[in-house]
Structure 1
Amino acid sequence: MENRQHYFFAIRLPLEIKQKLSLMCQRIIEPFPFKRWVHEQDYHITLAFLGGAPQETLDRAKENVASKLHSHTSFPLAINHLGVFGKKDAPRIFLAGLDKEQRLDDLRADVYKACTEAGFSLETRPFNPHITLARKWGGETPFEPERLIQLQQDRLSRVECEIKEVVLYQTNLNQTPKYEAISLYKLKEPSIF
């Protein structure tokens, strides 16, 4: 079977945030039996999924992203809730959600534009930033959405962090963790004046 590489631009989360989310996930695996839990080193916020890419197109995207990100500064971001995507009784994604943050939306818009200008056809659904924690409900009984409210009260208080980096990741499906950073784009420190 061919092992094609896939690529995506994402926000890399600080290590301490990854560790907090991982600790919470370890405590809920039994009552929330999703089939695949994401490795803590693979937690991220996707900005643009590229899929497979010829090297020339990927290089153009990298140059475009570097050019567009030169004006972006680091900014705070808060993880404030848990949620799911997919069917209510059998969700496909279990996630940590984020506060609305205009600087995140602006950053994503510039990364998205940089990639389309490089020749990528990207997903057109509205941007819904999140951190995927697990995939595919595997419980013998249907998922109960109301359990998220209790879980959030018990396990997830508001967690804040500083967003400082955008990364181009390569997916290595046969490895754990499976996302490998191949390019890093540091955001500027905000001016104090």
Structure 2
Amino acid sequence: MAESHYFIAIPLDENIQQKLKPVQEQLKKDPALEFKNWTHPQDLHITLKFLGASADNTIKELKKSLQQFHQSDRFSLEVRGIGHFGNPQKPRVVWAGVEKTSPLTTLQKEVESLCLAFGWTSENRPYRPHITLAKKWAGTEKISTPLTDEQFFGSLLVDRIHLYQIHPAQNPKYDAIEIVRLK
């Protein structure tokens, strides 16, 4: 049996999900924006660490260790703007922007450090917090207008982190198997 895939992330509250849903719907209507995957509104999140395929016993131990984050303070950040990763004419990912605050950066580094202790490798790229709206370009034509917007979607209270298990055949795909509330 294949190992399940996992990641650690900040879930979005329903308010932010509801503000991003019509943005996704509008983007989907644009015939120039063809993507293989559009993120289900309930699956929207801010990734702290992608773990990939992981053994059950390692995940069980990680769940216990994640409890240390109960001592981390809650914080707020802003969700603002639309952007992309990759070629602007054939973007690999379309995202909603997330304010890169000191508390967010600290939390991400602490999660990264914990995961390194369990044997996961460090990410090679700098941390760029975002909320993936669509990914995997499937278009045949290039986009002629830049895919950017500075719209404000609201403030998000970061009061918990989730360990998610990925179920590729389902929609929504992500199941929170561990929830750690911040103080």
Kindly state the Cα deviation for residue 57 of structure 1 after the two structures are TM-superposed: 1.7
Structure 2: which 5+ residue stretches go unaligned? none
SS in 1 for 2:116: helix
Corresponding residue for 1:102? Answer: 102
Query: Does 2:118 match 1:123?
Result: no
Q: Which TM-score applies when normalising by structure 1? A: 0.86
5+ residue gaps, structure 1: 189-193
* Conservation of the 8 A alpha-carbon contact between 1:65 and 1:110: no
Looking at structure 2, the residues matched to 174 and 158 of structure 1 have their Cα atoms a distance apart, in angstroms, of 30
CA distance in 1, matches of 2:27, 2:11: 24
Offset of residue 173 of structure 1: 0.6
SS at 2:179 equivalent: strand
> In structure 1, how many angstroms separate the alpha carbons of the residues matched to 2:55 and 2:37?
30
Matches within 5 A, 1:30-45: 30-31=29-30, 32-45=33-46
Q: Determine if contact 2:11/2:161 at 8 Å carries over to the other structure.
A: yes
Letter in 2 for 1:134: A
Structure 1 CA distance for aligned equivalents of residues 127 and 106 of structure 2: 11
Which consecutive aligned stretches of 4+ in structure 1 deviate over 6 angstroms post-superposition? none
TM normalised by structure 2 equals 0.90
1:72-115 residue CA offsets vs partner (Å, 9 max, x unmatched): 11111101111111122211100011122110000111111111
CA RMSD of aligned residues (A): 1.7
- Letter of the structure 2 residue corresponding to residue 23 of structure 1: P
Aligned AA for 1:19? Q
Q: Contact 1:10–1:166 (CA<8 Å) still a contact in 2?
A: yes
Aligned residues with identical type, % of pairs: 36
Tell me what 1:9 maps to. 8
Contact 1:11–1:44 (CA under 8 A) maintained in structure 2: yes
Q: d(CA) in 2 for partners of 1:166 and 1:173?
A: 21
User: Equivalent residue of 1:159, what SS?
Assistant: strand
Change (3 A) 1:28 1:58: same
